[in-house]
Amino acid sequence: MHVHLSTSPSGDVFSKQWTSAWRKDQDEGLPTFIWDNMTFGDWKETRTIDFDVNLPEAVQHNGSLWADVFLVKQGASPDPSNPQFNPASVHHVRKLLTRYLPKLKARKEKNLLKSKDEPVEEEPENLTLALVSDATVVPYNQLPPVLFEHVHLVPGVRDDTGTKGFYKPIIFPNDFWHLRSQYIEVNTTTPTLPLSITFQPMSYFKFQLYASMTQGFNEAAKQQGSGGAAELDEVKRMLVETNPYFLGLTALVSILHTVFEMLAFKNDVSHWRQRKELVGVSIVANVFVQLIILLYLLDNNEQTSWMILFGQGMGLLIEAWKITKAMDIKLVPAPPGSLLPYKIELHDKHVLSEDEKKTQEYDKLAYQYVSYAAIPLLAAYSVYSLMYQTHRGWYSFIITTLTSFVYMFGFAQLIPQLIINYKLKSVSHMPMKAMIYKTLSTVVDDFFAFCIKMPVLHRLACFRDDLVFLVFLYQRWIYRVDPKRINEYGQVMEGQEVDEKDETKKDK
């Protein structure tokens, strides 16, 4: 097998015009190599070569770079000027190495105080030359277009019956596993690029599969645009980099996580539709927290799975809807001297009972305790992040800092409820089914945090939730169960007992 890198538009790399003039000016320095003693049908034959390519000036200015592959019989030459040249012993295949792709939006980070960009590393491009090494009878006239272009007949050669022809060995440049991130931008600043070329045998079945999948993925990427291409790349990356067992676990955990999340949303909405009191419930900063987390995930969207974004968006909408159930929201003129012409007023929809006032008092007290530790830590972390860490810009710095604060403690969402339980010296009743559901959901979320792509802070937040859940279990052990308190699933112990008694009477 002879491989020549060239800029020739026709692949005529051995013509005198090309070798004497054009190649000297344009392709001088491009590598060529020969793999000898290759046996057709040897399934263990695998070879790899790595080298640096000195790109011609034409390629640096959006020119094309080709790999001309010549498969010849032992002792033959692909050069027509060589006495050992025999057209029947040569099979020529071309592969375009350069591609015209939309420029990636690189995530450039810098220290906001030093204004120095952080470099981004890229992986070298590779080329796999697969030789279909099994003698398969090919229905040439029935081949689909995606396979037809790779099958070349031997001209003028038939079997003894004269009804069947022969085809040359199929060389398939397999680039299915190429990821968009592995391509290196070619311009005048990249005169030399690394290239790895691998030879390996392939069965005809795999050839059909890879050729069809490559065509399908390329067409899907064209129709869906850059966003669809990125999603397809993630599918490839997951298949390449993930252990099959871990991949199966990821699929199972993703399904369970989605089911539990949808059930949680359903129960939350059903509970709040029937809710008439707010005793023991801490919802003061939920909307703000959910919004900050969503903005952080969007700012790190290249590290975030769409499943995470969807769940966070749904959670934000539900939390915003809860406010409309508990309060009247009005847009009123701002007082004199205000920077804005209007302001938002929130009023409770009903008069608070004594228990609700006590809950609200404990809620404020909880956030007061939280602020004593949170505000200094937030200030210290902000200074550290600004001085020693890199960010995309000031917006990213602010969002990341606020999110770090929320994720690190989760006080705005979780701790106040624990403090309320401590002050009331009681916990709400939770049926065994609901307790099992909550435990399973917590375990699944832990697996989900390891399996699914997400920012590091979001992953750590799952284990923060585990700590709060353990404290909640401890409170259930040491405190009494208040049968009048509504749990997070909208259930009351007394109501359940009444229902059970009614059902028993009906049965009798």
In our burial notation (b when 16+ CB lie closer than 10 A, e otherwise), range 450-469 reads: ebbebbebbbebbebbeebb
Contact status, residue 1 vs residue 38, Cβ threshold 8 Å: yes
- How do strand 192-202 and strand 125-132 relate by DSSP bridges? parallel
pLDDT value at position 250?
75
Contact status, residue 440 vs residue 259, Cβ threshold 8 Å: no
pLDDT value at position 23?
56
Ramachandran class of 409: left when φ > 0, alpha when ψ lies in -120 to 50, beta otherwise? alpha
pLDDT value at position 205?
92
Question: Measured between alpha carbons, how far is 10 from 64 in angstroms, rounded to an integer?
Answer: 11
Contact status, residue 444 vs residue 496, Cβ threshold 8 Å: no
- What is the DSSP code string of 295-356? HHHHHTGGGS-HHHHHHHHHHHHHHHHHHHHHEEEEEEEPPTT-SSSEEEEEEESS---HHH
pLDDT value at position 507?
43
Residue-by-residue pLDDT tens, the chain, 508 positions: 889 888 888 878 777 655 555 555 567 778 888 888 888 888 888 999 888 888 888 887 778 888 899 999 888 888 888 888 888 888 899 988 887 776 655 556 566 666 444 433 333 468 888 888 887 888 888 888 889 988 988 887 787 777 788 888 999 998 888 877 777 778 777 788 888 889 999 999 999 999 998 888 888 877 766 555 667 777 787 777 777 787 787 778 778 877 877 877 777 777 667 665 554 445 556 777 788 888 888 887 666 677 778 888 888 888 778 777 766 677 788 778 777 777 777 666 666 666 666 666 766 776 677 777 777 877 887 888 788 777 777 888 888 888 877 776 665 556 667 777 777 777 765 555 555 666 677 777 767 666 666 676 667 666 767 777 788 778 778 877 766 665 555 555 555 443 444 433 434 4
The sign of the torsion formed by the CA atoms of 205, 211, 214, 220 equals: negative
pLDDT value at position 486?
57
> Mutual orientation of helices 244-274 and 204-241 as an angle, nearest 10°?
60
Contacts of 98 by beta carbon, 8 Å cutoff, 6+ apart: 59, 63, 64, 65, 186
Longest dimension (CA), the chain: 105
pLDDT value at position 206?
92
Query: For residue 215, which of 245, 169, 174 has the smallest C-alpha distance?
Result: 174
Ramachandran class of 46: left when φ > 0, alpha when ψ lies in -120 to 50, beta otherwise? beta
pLDDT value at position 203?
92
Query: For residue 170, which of 197, 217, 210, 142 has the smallest C-alpha distance?
Result: 210
